[in-house]
């Protein structure tokens, strides 16, 4: 049962990730932007080097990333974001984010980068700028609610348009906000 849970969880994650990857590939193929997902960080413990064939990793563990999952460049600007989803109907739980990701986003903002999160929630995709995430994060840190309400997301986030090729066309929102 534990096994099934893990598989279900990672499959659920894959749809959002795959849709973003397809979008990024579309951006790349059309010379719109160069944005990639970073590989999952792995701690490799044991590698086998068989003769005449490729090295086989025999023991490794998932590590927590010290950054967000996606970054790259769009029209001269540094782009950095994390993608998260919830099945919750009324709010977006902040437990989806980790302190080190927030720290990374603050570092990026301090260097003048464009930083945001893509939220999959309430049957839509939203782009929420990092500044607003920081506000909700700080509210939680000072004893406030542990989630962003749907109303708050409606107020502060931007619904991302979708299309066949640019499945989650987040640069449309970036165009409006920064160009």
Q: Does 6 bind its own copies (CB under 8 A)?
A: yes
Smallest distance, its own copies to C-beta of residue 56, A: 7
Instruction: Tell me, residue by residue from 50 to 89, as one string, x for binding to its own copies by CB under 8 A and - for no binding.
Output: -x--xxxxxxxxxx-xxx---xxxxxxxx-x---------
Q: Does 41 bind its own copies (CB under 8 A)?
A: yes
Residue number with the smallest Cβ distance to Mg ion: 69
- Cα dihedral 86, 118, 141, 152 in deg (nearest 10): -80
Residue 84 and residue 172: Cα distance in Å, rounded?
Answer: 19
Tokens of 61: 């563990």
Smallest distance, its own copies to C-beta of residue 129, A: 16
Closer by beta carbon to Mg ion, 17 or else 150: 17
Task: Name the binder of 80 from its own copies, Mg ion, none, CB < 5-8 A by kind.
Answer: its own copies
- The helix (H) or strand (E) run that includes residue 137 is helix 130-141
Half-sphere exposure of 79 (CA within 13 A, CB side): 24
**Ordered DSSP codes for 58-75:** EEEEE---SS-SEEEEET
Contacting range for Mg ion; rule: CB under 5 A; set: 65-73, 91-99, 116-124, 161-169? 65-73
Residue 128 and residue 119: Cα distance in Å, rounded?
Answer: 7
Q: Does 69 bind Mg ion (CB under 5 A)?
A: yes
Four-residue CA torsion sign, 160, 162, 168, 172: negative
Residues that bind its own copies (CB under 8 A): 2-3, 6, 28, 31, 33-34, 36, 38-42, 44, 49, 51, 54-63, 65-67, 71-78, 80, 104, 107-108, 110-113
Residues that bind Mg ion (CB under 5 A): 69
């Amino acid at each position: 049962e534990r096994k099934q849970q893990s598989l279900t969880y990672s499959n659920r994650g894959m749809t959002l990730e795959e849709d973003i990857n397809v979008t990024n590939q579309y951006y790349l193929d059309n010379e719109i932007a160069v944005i990639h997902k970073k590989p999952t960080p792995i701690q490799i413990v044991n590698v086998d080097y068989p003769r005449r064939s490729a090295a086989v990793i025999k023991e490794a563990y998932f590590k927590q990333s010290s950054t967000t999952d996606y970054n790259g460049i769009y029209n001269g600007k540094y782009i950095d974001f994390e993608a998260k989803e919830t099945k919750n109907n009324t709010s977006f739980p902040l437990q989806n984010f980790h302190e080190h990701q927030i720290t990374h986003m603050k570092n990026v903002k301090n260097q003048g980068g464009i930083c945001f999160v893509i939220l999959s929630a309430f049957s839509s995709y939203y782009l929420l700028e990092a500044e607003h995430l920081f506000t909700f994060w700080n509210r939680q840190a000072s004893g406030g609610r542990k989630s962003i309400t749907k109303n708050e997301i409606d107020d502060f986030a931007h619904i991302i348009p979708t299309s066949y090729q640019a499945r989650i066309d987040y640069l449309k929102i970036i165009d409006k906000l920064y160009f």
